[in-house]
Amino acid sequence: MAKDSNIVHLYFRKESGNGLLLIRVNPILLTGMEITVPPTGKLPLREFECDEAFEQLLLADGFQPTGAMEFNLYFSGLTGGISGN
């Protein structure tokens, strides 16, 4: 079993003039992934590292906690498409 498989990720979303930002954070390994959903075109995907204050920083930046479904629909390519996939 993969080390990452038993971790409950945290999900956040924010709508802006540039489109929709979706973030998945692994709160144990402090890593994450961001999907930017622009009004048109491909979806850029970015991986990042964070620290323990990630949740407070995201909330202060206007992100709202959300569930996994929306992120995973975009990530899997069922809605839109991820650049490079």
> Residue holding tokens 């990452």?
4
In the chain, where does DSSP find H-type helix?
54-60, 68-76
> Between 18 and 84, where is the model more confident?
18
Bridge partners of 9, per DSSP, are: none
Q: Which two structure tokens, joined as six digits, stand for 33?
A: 């992934």
Q: Rounded to whole angstroms, how far apart are CA atoms 79 and 63?
A: 21
> Between 38 and 22, where is the model more confident?
22
CB 14 within 8 A of CB 63: yes
Within-domain flag for 7: yes
pLDDT tens-digit readout, 3-18: 557 889 999 999 988 7
Q: Given this model, what pLDDT does residue 7 score?
A: 87
pTM for this predicted structure: 0.75
Domain with 69 in it: 3-76
Structural domain count, the chain? 1
Within-domain flag for 82: no
Q: Rounded to whole angstroms, how far apart are CA atoms 51 and 19?
A: 26
pLDDT tens-digit readout, 31-76: 999 998 887 766 778 999 999 999 999 999 999 999 999 899 888 8
